Structure 1
Amino acid sequence: MPKSRNGPQIMKHLPKAIVLLFVALLFACGSSATATPSGAPSPTAVSQVTAVPSTGGGAAAATPVPTAMAQATEAPSAMVKPSGTINIGQRETGIFQGHPSQASSPRIQFLSSSIGEGLVTIREDLLPNPMVARSWEISDDFLTWTWKLQPGVDFHKGYGTVTTEDVVYSYEQWYEGALLARAGFIGQYFGFDGKTAAATTIIDDLTFEVFTDEPWVPARVFEFLRNGGGVSTWIVSKAQSEELGIDKASVDIASTGPWEIVDHASGQFWKFSAVEDHWRQTPFFEELVFWTIPEESARVAGFQTGNLDNFAMDFDSIITVEAVEGAVLKGVPNAGQAGINWYGQTYGLDRDGNEYEFYDPSQAWVSADLDTNSKEWQDALLVRKAMNIAIDRQTIVDTLLLGFGRPQYLRDWMGHEARANPDWVYEYNPELAKQMLTEAGYPDGFTITLTPAIRGAPAEVETCQSLAQYWETIGISVKIQNIPYATIRPSLITRKYQGITCLTVGVRLTPLIGASNYPITSTYSYGTHHPIIDEIFGRASTQTDPLKIQAGELEFYNWMWDNAMASSIYVHDGVWPIGVRLDPDFDPADYSDVRTATGFEYTKHR
């Protein structure tokens, strides 16, 4: 049975005073308790907010403009001046770089929920609402998108108001930087890549038009224009970048969010100040600080003493947090889905028409032949299926998530289970898994590299470690590579990494969004590409009929399932610890990613 590994370790990269305080508290407070799993998706001990619906229809909608549009608001005449500081403990933030050409995951989610704002934000039903964009219209043939911006949205640091020139500049930089997982799709949509007749035209200071040359499923567009998630984007001042240069502007970026960067130290903290008279929401607190605190025990200790108001929490700390006087646990269903990515499955040719440089069929799960009827393919398929049925997903949910979740076998369908294929289930059977490895030609097993993607999800490292235990049980030797996600990510983009990763993502606006990681045109890669994938995705991604989109999604993922090209472990709830100084009655700024708390501009003093 997998066990949580949260023993105290040496803390690094914290300001000296904070380090001394946390070390002292660790000895005073001891380790966290472990709760008995309740077996319920949302235990009653956790106060709940409105759940993310299980039948989000965001993908299918091709409607012009939402009926309820956000507007730039005037500050009340008697507005109270922001005061106090919100301190947040994060596992990892990385270097502060806010320019679109330099920003990358896992920093994206922290930047977009503080200094940045997307053109749209995603509401509870997974449909888009206006943000920096005031409205949009899609032509009847789904080829022309007309965007109108909110008037009077100011940049930080005195760089004036947002215009369409800033918007087009920003998205061109997202594309050229090629660090965002959806950079390639941004280039296609706006026409920056020059591969089609797609083009962007500025109409006036607040209006621009995008001709896409071929139809786009709207949810694919909203995903990279939204706020608050791992592939979110924001607008920056073109004038600042031209005046200071990109490198200098990036570390003191002028964007539009309710928080403005004022100080930062790599691996230590990011400090923001409230933007007074913000067009959307002036924060109630004067400062927001993200502290980089890699160790769970140190984050828990900081929360217990009131030095942290919120932190990225592992579920085995819930009982300890519940015991903190005045603390509140805020529950949000469908926060994340933990997947397994099998890297090295780079079949066919890359986007430039070349063979993949790092394709390595010597790995047991990679076929030496892309023909799905070949013996080589069937042997590799047996290996992948064996590794899947060797995992006891329910035990992982019960022990590492304390019941705050449910097993999942194919990622990207969280919140859309009602229309998923009910046959997508792996029954736990380690004895059969051993037989399958023998049949595939590996009676003595083989060696793999396993890397947890450390991005702030609950139990992400412990879950990956549990996979190692299950696989070692059937004879596979596992080398765990514990490195920051920001370190490994470049090798994922270049398709160089060879091994298996555990990666947790948020809810997809539609499953097709998850599918978009597999075509050769995707900047980001799950290490799995095949000509059949591109063929199926190409058909589904240009549909405009909701029923045809959904049929295409099922066709895509049925093929992925039949060939065990990718898999999942579980769906987990979001549980946010809220400290005694914060009023817990606030909602996320964006519902497309609720793995960790967001919306601190709406948080009031308690």
Structure 2
Amino acid sequence: MTSAMISTSRAWVRNAVLGLALAVSGAGVAEAAKTSLVLGMAVEPAGLDPTVAAPVAIGQVTWQNIFEGLVTIDRDGKIQPQLARSWDISADGLTYTFKLQTGVKFHDGEAFDAAVAKAAIERARGADSVNPQKRYFATIASVEAPDAETLVLKLSKPTGSLLYWLGWPSSSIVGTRSAADNKTTPVGTGPFKFKSWAKGDKVELVRNPDYWNKDKAAKLETATFRFIADPQAQAAALKSGDVDSFPEFGAPELIADLEKDAKLSVVIGNTELKVVAGMNNARKPFDDQRVRQALMMAVDRAAVVEGAWSGFGTPIGSHYTPNDPGYVDLTGVHAYDVDKAKALLKEAGYPNGFTFTIKAPQMQYAQRSSQILQALFAEIGVTMNIETTEFPAKWVSDVFKGGDYDMTIVAHAEPMDIDIYARDPYYFHYKNPAFNDVLAKVQATSDAAEQAKLYGEAQTILANDVPALYLFVMPKLGVWNAKVKGLWANEPIPSNVLNEVQWED
């Protein structure tokens, strides 16, 4: 072999080795999965503690990410153990004994045990409690912690939904040292820790390296919640990659366009979001059942779904979704019928109709639904003025707490919340002892079939009495990067659970 041939051979080998190294290096870069996620939300929470305020956006950031409960609700809507590893319910339904996890610590280092769990429940049920679901704890007569691993709840009467309620964001177990500051600097036991909150922009979480449940530790290192109210801006952020996912995308009319983008996945699932036009049953003319029924008969639900949400949605005839046990399709009880609606208004003393105002939040579904209702009511001689009301702050103060409204419209997100019509006070100002009796019977039994039957009776009462106009259930319009895996397709409870989320290699 000549020196020239040897030189050429060496050069070939050197280049081949270099090329192989570059190929391996390049493959390594290509296969390295991302460990951060930017998730978009339309509504920014006013605080970050779900145990002191009601807006669902709080839980959508913090529940199962920062905060955990004795039990949890999984992606299929089933109750699963969490900080309680097991439980036993006495034969009479009055004593719940929980065996707790050991070795659990809050993000600030405080140890979780029965004493801490007891303090959290006492805080939720106490006289000074501001828990948004304080009623969930109303039948707990006493809380005992006989040892560090045992928590005992003694009830004043059987409460068939108690375990389910204990899985809610409002039932999160908070630490004794950190509870007072959770609104702005939340501390929990979950797979993510709070890092920062730039109000008006984003909340940042980081992986909890000391998470107690190694089998369910977060796969992401960081998660950022970005708040983008405008649907066009949401779509632009998804297309540009500034946002990786919008689990509740706010512009159904843009879904068809987004489905054409190969970089994105569009996943349409179910939710508990019941779009309801609530009426002030204590204010004329809505205190007259005939007026409420006439307004319901003036509503073409199919037209509302098409016009408000581009055909995405399921019409409902009561405050209940097809996902829930005992669902009954009651859309035919006061079906769309303009002539019957006019006749009923005349019978009620309003032959020429009347004028009222709807306080509608700024969200698109509420604005669009209101505009369609306005046109439909005009067909029976009723004039409805639309007043845009900022949500959540103004709506909560004026409507939810103040009760100062004629009609409003909002998507009720809480699962199985038909019992809101039995609450006193509640913003509908609806009172029906017969309905209350049915709901009481639901809690008196733990038999699933009997509960489903009773829920059917409750739905029927509301469909006939019409304390609110029942419009449709919104679907979950999820749009995210096609390489993102593990987000929930359905929403059995308002949430963005991130511990299983990861990027595909």
Question: Normalising by the residue count of structure 2, what TM-score does the alignment of the two structures yield?
Answer: 0.83
State yes or no: 1:206 paired with 2:149: yes
**Structure 2 counterpart of 1:599, which letter?**
V
Contact 1:116 1:233 survives alignment (8 Å): no
Cα distance in structure 2, aligned partners of 1:463 and 1:240 = 42
Which of residues 441, 452, 468 in structure 1 aligns to 2:374? Answer: 468
Q: Distance in 1 between matches of 2:105 and 2:436?
A: 41
1:94 shift after superposition: 2.9
Aligned to 2:347: 439
Deviations 1:420-440 (A, max 9, x none): 265754322223323322221
Aligned-residue offset at 1:215:
0.8
Q: Per the alignment, do residues 554 and 387 of structure 1 end up closer, same or farther by CA in structure 2, a change over 3 Å counting?
A: same
Q: Do the aligned partners of residues 162 and 491 (structure 1) sit closer, same or farther apart at CA in structure 2, a change above 3 Å counting?
A: farther
Aligned to 2:305: 397
Q: 1:260 is aligned with what amino acid? A: K
Tell me: CA distance 1:259–1:473, structure 2 relative to 1, closer, same or farther (3 Å).
farther
Cα deviation for residue 393 of structure 1 reads 0.9
- 2:497 corresponds in structure 1 to 599
Which one-letter code corresponds to 2:195 in the other structure?
A: V
Conserved? CA contact 1:449–1:481, under 8 Å: no
Q: Which residue of 2 aligns with 1:426?
A: 334
1:533 paired residue number: 435
**Residues 576/591 of structure 1: CA separation in 2 closer, same or farther (3 Å cut):** closer
- In structure 1, the partner of 2:237 is 302
Aligned pairs for 1:64-75 within 5 A: none
Q: Structure 1's 392 and 169: CA in aligned 2 closer, same or farther, altered over 3 A? A: same
- Does 2:111 match 1:167? no
Q: Given residue 305 of structure 1, which amino acid in structure 2 is its aligned partner?
A: S
Read off the aligned partner of 1:592 and give its amino acid letter: P
Contact 1:152 1:279 in 2 (8 A): yes
Aligned to 1:262: 195
Q: CA separation of 1:448/1:221 partners in 2, compared to 1, >3 Å: closer, same or farther?
A: farther
Say whether the 8 Å CA contact 1:585–1:603 is kept in structure 2. yes
Structure (1 or 2) with the greater helix fraction: 2
Question: Deviation digits for residues 51-85 of structure 1, max 9, x if unmatched?
Answer: xxxxxxxxxxxxxxxxxxxxxxxxxxxxxx99643
Secondary structure, counterpart of 1:257 in structure 2: coil
CA RMSD of aligned residues (A): 3.0
C-alpha displacement at 1:287, in angstroms? Answer: 1.7
Would the alpha carbon gap of residues 331 and 249 (structure 1) be closer, same or farther in structure 2, given more than 3 Å must change? Answer: closer
After TM superposition, give the deviation of residue 260 of structure 1 in Å: 1.4
The secondary structure found in structure 1 opposite 2:473 is strand
Instruction: Give, in angstroms, the shift of residue 249 of structure 1.
Output: 4.7
How much does 1:309 deviate?
Answer: 0.9
Distance in 2, Cα, partners of 1:299 & 1:499:
33
Aligned pair in 2 of structure 1 residues 422, 287: CA closer, same or farther (>3 Å)?
same
Deviation, structure 1 residue 543: 2.7
Are 1:482 and 2:389 matched, yes or no?
yes
Deviation, structure 1 residue 145: 0.7
The C-alpha deviation readout for 1:374-404, integer Å capped at 9, x for no partner, is: xxxxxx1111111111111112333443343
User: Pairwise mapping of residues 548-563 of structure 1 onto structure 2 (< 5 A)?
Assistant: 548-563=450-465
Aligned counterparts of 2:167 and 2:279: Cα–Cα separation in 1 = 28
Question: Corresponding residue for 2:285?
Answer: 364
Per the TM alignment, residue 103 of structure 1 is displaced from its structure 2 partner at its CA by: 6.4
Q: Which residue of 1 aligns with 2:257?
A: 320
What amino acid maps onto 1:514 in structure 2? D
Identity of aligned residues (%): 20
Whether 1:138 and 2:71 are equivalent positions in the alignment is no
Aligned AA (2:234): R
**1:250 is the counterpart of 2:153:** no
What's the offset of the Cα at 1:201?
0.9
Distance across 1 between alignment mates of 2:330 and 2:353: 31
Kindly name which structure, 1 or 2, has the bigger radius of gyration based on alpha carbons.
2
SS of equivalent residue, structure 1 residue 364 = coil
1:468/1:298 CA distance change after superposition, 3 Å? same
- Secondary structure of the residue aligned to 1:459 is helix
Structure 2 vs 1, CA of residues 334 and 309 (structure 1 numbering), >3 Å: closer, same or farther?
same
Q: Which residue of 1 aligns with 2:176?
A: 238
Structure 2 SS opposite 1:237: coil
CA deviation map 1:286-327 (0-9, x unaligned): 221212222111111111110011123121121232233310
* Partner in structure 2 of residue 224 of structure 1: 165
For 1:297 and 1:473, locate their aligned partners in 2 and report how far apart those are by CA, in whole Å.
33
What does 1:17-416 correspond to in 2, within 5 Å? 84-98=35-49, 100-101=51-52, 104-123=55-74, 126-157=77-108, 159-176=109-126, 178-186=129-137, 188-190=138-140, 198-217=141-160, 220-227=161-168, 232-241=170-179, 246=180, 248-280=181-213, 281-311=216-246, 312-313=248-249, 314-343=251-280, 345=281, 360-361=282-283, 363-366=284-287, 380-416=288-324
* Structure 1 gaps, min length 5: 1-80, 191-197, 346-359, 367-379
Distance 2:378 2:318 in 1: 22
Partner SS, residue 421 of structure 2: coil
User: Could you say which residue in structure 2 is the equivalent of 1:25?
Assistant: none
The alpha carbon displacement at 1:419 in A equals 5.2
Match of 2:475, SS state, is strand
Aligned length: 468
Contact 2:326–2:453 (8 Å) recurs in 1: no
- Corresponding position of 2:358: 450
Counterpart residue type for residue 323 of structure 1: K
Distance, in Å, in 1 between the alignment partners of 2:264 and 2:458 is 44
Q: Is the 8 A contact 2:361 2:388 kept in 1?
A: no
Deviation at 1:569, TM superposition (A): 0.9
Partner SS state of residue 562, structure 1 = helix
